Structures are given as C-alpha cells and as structure tokens.
A = this chain, B = another copy of it.
C-alpha cells in the first residue's frame, strides 16, 4: 500500500482535494532542489533563499506554495513517501515484523529522509498544524500498516488477539526513533531481529 497522495503546498493545510492535482514543473524543480540541499547540508542549513537559487526560481514562487522551510521539508518528505510502498510480506509474522523494522531503519539511516526527520521532529513536536498533517499522512499510515500485519498474524494464529495496533506501532518504531534522535545507539543489521525477538513474547502469549 502506498502513501497515496500529493504533498503540495495546500495539502499541508487542507488535507486532500479528492483527486491528485498534477504537480507543475515549478513544484518539481523546487522539491528536487530542496531534497538535494537537505541531502547536502541537512535541515538546519536549509534556507528558502538557497532553495530558490538552486531551483532557479524566485523566492516568491516558493512562498506561494509553502509557508515556511518546514512546510517545504515536509512536502519533500511526503513526496518521497509516495514512492515507498509498504509491501505486504506474505511470509510468517516474525519475518514481517523484522522486515518492517529493518525497512524503517534503512530508510532513516541511508536516505535523505533521515536528515529530514532529524530536522523536522522538533517542528512537528512544536507546531500543531504541522503535526496534524504529519499524523494524517505518516503516523496513521504506519498504524494502518501494523494493523494489517497484526490482523494477518492473528488470523494465522501467530499472534494473540487483543493487541492494540497503536501500542504495537509505538513498540516497533519508538525504539528506532529514540536511538536515531537521542540515544545514538547503533542499529546494525541485527537490530531488527533482536528487537522483534525480544518483543515477540509480548505479542504471542
């Protein structure tokens, strides 16, 4: 399943307009420039002026679409998530859980998404409007993914019933973000497996 939609300027305020509006050339070039700059120097040194220069676009054009650099970064994030399909793995539940964790770890640590998240987390935490969009688009999607996974696991008899999908999501992703943002503890190839194996008794018993 995909994050289904746009992430243009308006979207960050008004959720969705039914059918995906075509993104214009300007939109594209601005988002690309932003992603490049985020990749090069991170969110902290992202400036609207810098994006305008890189994109060969006037500042006005950017402000017409995005209210702030935060909004812009969020748009890039949502734009990138469009392409991240959350394939339902048809294997056993343990493997699926490990895959979900590993995928998230990989996304954070190897793509520009990690830098964006590092920069955006404070903004999302502090700006209700931004938080709203982020939850609408990203958080709820994660919970939906986990819900599907849990239901399948229960159907297979691999998981116990009565699990709260939101809590499970917290338990799967919380440790990742905590390490990624704050503790700095490494997340090697083994991490996903260790996390899930540790958690498993909580999901099966």
| Interface SS of A by simple majority | helix
The answer to whether A119 touches B124 (Cβ under 8 A) is no
Count of A interface residues, CB-CB < 8 Å: 46
Q: Is A58 an interface residue (CB 8 A)?
A: no
Q: A177-B174, A194-B167 are in contact. Are A134 and B202 (CB under 8 A)?
A: no
What CA separation (Å) do A169 and B126 show in the bound complex? 25
What CA separation (Å) do A185 and B131 show in the bound complex? 11
Chain B residues within an 8 Å CB radius of A124 = 181-182
Q: Is A175 an interface residue (CB 8 A)?
A: yes
Copies in the complex: 4
A152 → chain B closest CB, angstroms = 20
18 A-B pairs with CB atoms under 8 Å apart are A44-B126, A118-B126, A119-B122, A119-B126, A120-B122, A121-B125, A131-B184, A134-B182, A135-B182, A139-B184, A164-B198, A171-B175, A174-B176, A174-B177, A178-B178, A200-B202, A201-B201, A202-B202
Interface residues of A (CB under 8 A from B): 42-44, 115, 118-126, 131, 134-135, 139, 163-164, 166-167, 169-171, 173-185, 194-195, 198-202, 204-205
